[in-house]
Structure 1
Amino acid sequence: MSSFSAEPMVPFRKRLQDLEVPEKASATFQCEVPLPPMESAWYKEETRLWANAKYLIEEAGAERRLTVLNVTSDDDAVYICETAEGSRTVAELAVRGGWAGGPETGQGNLLRKLPRKTAGRVGDTAMFCVELAKPEGPIHWLWNQQEVVAGGRVAITAEGTCHTLTISQCSLDDAGEVAFVAGDCRTSTQFCVSAPRRPPLHAPEAPVVKARTESSVTLGWSPPPHGDRPVAIDGYLVEKKRMGTHPWSRCHEDKWVATPELTVAGVAEEGEFQFRVSAVNRFGQSPYLEFPGTVHLAPQLAVKTPLKAVEAVEGGEVTFSVDLTMASAGEWFLDGQALKASSVYVIHCDGTRHTLTIRLVPVSLHGAELKFVANGIESSIRMEVRVAPGLTTKCPAAAVAAREVLARLHEEAQLLAELSDQAAAVTWLKDGHALSPGPKYEVQASAGQRALLVRDVKQEDAGLYECVSHGDRIAYQLLVQGDTSVCVFMSSLGRRCSQGRAFCPPALDRLWGTWASHLFLHKDTAGGCVDAVAWGSAHFEYETSEAHVCVHWYKDGVELGHSCQRFSQEDMGTRHRLVATSVTVQDEDTYLCQVGKDSVDFWSCVCEPSEMFAKEQPALGEVQTEVGARATLSCEVAQAQMEVTWYKDGKKLSVSSKVCMEAKGCTRQLVVQQVGNRDAGEHSCEARGRREQMLSEEPTADFPYASQYCVGPMAMPCSGTRESECLIFQLQQWDTEGGRGGRVVVWLAWFC
């Protein structure tokens, strides 16, 4: 066995005793501290122990107990009980059947062996004891394979078959392997020496001012004395104070300085300064040593923290900063050009700190020199801009309306963005400010998707959220509803189609929260996306468990009353329906059906009709009329609400006394009064589901092959005199590519 002795200031009433137990048993160490209120801690060699399923720590008055449960060979070690004042007692636990000591030979003659590991502190006395069954020689003590000779701090004694090696005033250099050899018998232990778990007791010594200038001073000192029990020192804390002020401030950026010398410069204000120094380690710091007198220092402008290269993402936002030793005006330059504050370049100064934020970073800035200059001093870097693949949406940022997302108070909201490139980098913003991952916000990435989780939603979390990538962005308006027992679908960001309209992502099952409802039936499969055709109707339908319940419908959080012109509400027993007529893209939004505190969400996706003109309309038609009479040109559109435009020879026609335009159901008619030879020519009817989309398209995109379908005059047999001349109209219909538009062409000819 090994033991340690060092006279503490206040010894334990009862010290720990060595224990030997079999595997799977429990081992209890007991000791008594000098005073019952005294704090104590348990250690397994160098590791602090806490009460858990493995260790039971108890206190009863002055008695302290540590129970090691279900011991194994890994528990074979030295255990220490230490008070806050520095007193401690040490004992060893030996596990039978699982001993894990050092290499042994000839173990049959060893009654007491060395432990696997022995731990000691600087300044302690270590004793290594071995007992033989019968005398055997020769006897040798080894330290790191070298024979130990008695003398100085080392003593070797023997009493019968008991042999002891004692090392006094242990130091860190004494650590290593200690072995005992007697004939063919050998046992060894790994000896570890550590510094006491307490702060330095003494302050540094011998303060001196080694050098000084108008703006700097070099201070020096000596380490604190070792004393009877040396304590490890990690470094030194140096502080300064300007005369006439109260607080002390640190003179260095790091927690401490490693060497007993420091040059102090870059003071913010001119004045007389005092200095002091303290030795520190991980357990605390020593008393302060104050430098005698004062030192006069004046500020000098210099760069304290230079610019650092920060990788920016194309279309994202990046911030650069520089710290000066004193407050001074400065200027930013990009490739030699001075920058002015704007919506793209945000310039800010706070005392000695200058910052520049660049928004919507273009990839062209990659490699550009960014420089900050202030009164002759400067700091510069080369910009790094990484190209980031964009979001699936093709719409410009200004054209993307914010989608409303409903979230319950104290629940979790999820915003989901679909990406066209799996490796694309995105930035999440709230009210224009970048969000950092943490306990509140979690950013998740999967194949082609990026999700933002907002945890423990509160009222202040409501606002505008944006997902930005490659200059594109998708916006969401987070609405926070009051606390309720029912969880509402947490919403997601809609994926964008090629025309820039939103539709529901396919994996809806991943976006639904936990529902706790009894009012709605089949709630796990209800709600979701409802498809509709422009100018047609959209049906939102749900079934409740009971009839005659009060149902409220909402669009964008605004309740739809029964008097709304384009929205009708139908209740048929347990089935409830909201019908939206003449829907347009502006009706793409969130719809909510609420009964009491329970609700279900729907989304509408409005697309263009695939056909503009009725399919059953004949490809070629003829119209005959007499001169002076009226001619009626007619065609059938696919939707009754569809708007059409009439043209003659490529020029738009307007309603006048000569021309009349009529719409009855799906029929569109152009009526020409008192037809004459001037009315001959090409007449066309054009229809588009959305006029605003036509304006945004290229002119050639609507009818790239229109000219080949224009037909010329067609002579038809007619009888009678000149007064019975006839007018013939030829009609041809076709669809443009993609079915987004159409035209009916009529050729009006005059014959004798």
Structure 2
Amino acid sequence: EVLEGENAVFCVEVENDDAEIHWFKDGLKLHETHQTILKSFGKTHILVFVNVAHRDSGVVTFVAGRSKTSSRLKVKATKHCPPICPVGVKMDVDRPNSTVLTWVPAANTQTSTRSIFVVERQEAGSQEWEKCFTSENAASAEITSDSVPCEGDYRFRVCCINKYGRSGHVEFPKAVHLGEELWSRIVHVLDRRVVEGEDAHFSIELSTPMVATWFLNSAQLQHGGRYSVQQSQTQHSLAIRETSATEDAAEVTFIANGVRDSAVLRVKRSPLSDLDGNKKSYISEEIHLQCELSRTSGKVRWFKDGQEVEEGDNTQLICEGPYRRLTILSGSVEDNGEYVCETDGDSVFFQLSVKEPPAKFVSPSEPELELTRLASERLQLSCEISQPDAPVRWYRDGLEVEEGQNLILEVDGARRRLVIPITTVDDTGEYVCDTDDDSYIRVNLRPFKSHSFLFNDFIPVSRLGAEVVWRLNGKEVEESSDVTITEDGLIHRLTIHCPTPEDSGKYTCDAVDDKIDFQVKVSGNETISALEMCFPLIGHPQRGTRRLGRVLPGCRRRQHQIQGYGGR
């Protein structure tokens, strides 16, 4: 027995696979078609009727040689039932003025029968359900405000329908508000005309968030430069900085999806002339806010942060011809704020900022110094600032220094000191004492070693590859068995092996751009093992350089006097 629409399968196994076989149904021989499948696998033979109908009922016979076997096929009609309800219904209510409904078809829904999903809506307060969406294949539906007759709260349900009936309804869990009209309103933040040079502000609020564009006289505006375009959820704003008279009567247009609104920008010249719109002053200083009227008889009113200003012990309101002045005799932090001078609907704004006077350096008077110290000497960098309680920071080559065993930071009233008890070559660098007001003093420190005629005490030239010529009393010295001239990186040496009194004289090491002299005097009766001189140019070329002559081990200082000094 096979249900209608299913496949009927017959399988026979024979003893010998060389026998001739045939399939029959109701005495008629079967041949392979798209609904009848005949297959053989060795001794196994198969017959399949695909998607059987009631008419396929009958007797099926298999013949192999002289043998045969039969079976009766009975096709039973299926029980036709209406479809099963969809499952897994969900509702997305986070979309602006719309919702998305989704569901999952029942797992055992018959695929052989065409089914249709139907979505219905019900307005709050009504008992009637109305069809609003149908689909044969889709398992989701987007319901927008355009599909409802009026604004209101709506509920939804879904069912499945085929030719045998309708499934039960599955109701979605929430209600959604639809039909709300998109609305907007451009608001000019300044409740008056914009005075030339001021910023013009426009804002607009939508009922739902969406991308929008601003235009000025049909030209699209981009964020940047004079234009600031901002959006925060449903709020949109436009700021036009430093308006000019040429923009008077310009049309400002806002366009979004389904929304368009416009406003007119009005820019005019004020009869009030602002002489100084932004004022900065220090505590205890006298402050003047002044503007000029187009008419000497005009009357003005002064406001601070929206409150009218009246004369008092510390505040004077002065009228001199076309000028109007507000004077604060001794400024304080409490005087900070926005001041407005208003006349006949026109206004001039002043932004006043009063703060502590900056901490400036009183001494030393030179903003930049350059110091040179012998290694192992004590170094003290000292400066005095105008505000005794102002904090300062010390830096060395751009990095803030910290106190340690060999670096002390001292505070003595308004004086600040940096002390290095024992300087070394490693302390070389630029030292900066900095305040919060960016006042500073720079000190370039150059500690150097105390040079004497010691072995391995060299000073290099300032760059590699310098051409150096050695001269004795103006005559170029050439290498020989007694004189050696060597170059080792930045070090240039002239070595006199076994010097004698004849080697005395003025030695010059000439590096084209600079040179150094050595005055050498050799005296005594015994032979000196060697005298070596090296070129010591370093640092600032215009300040000259120091000497360097030295005696190699073996010289006898008591019998020999070797003198050396350097200079331009």
Q: TM-score, normalization: structure 1?
A: 0.23
Which structure would you say has the larger Rg?
Answer: 2
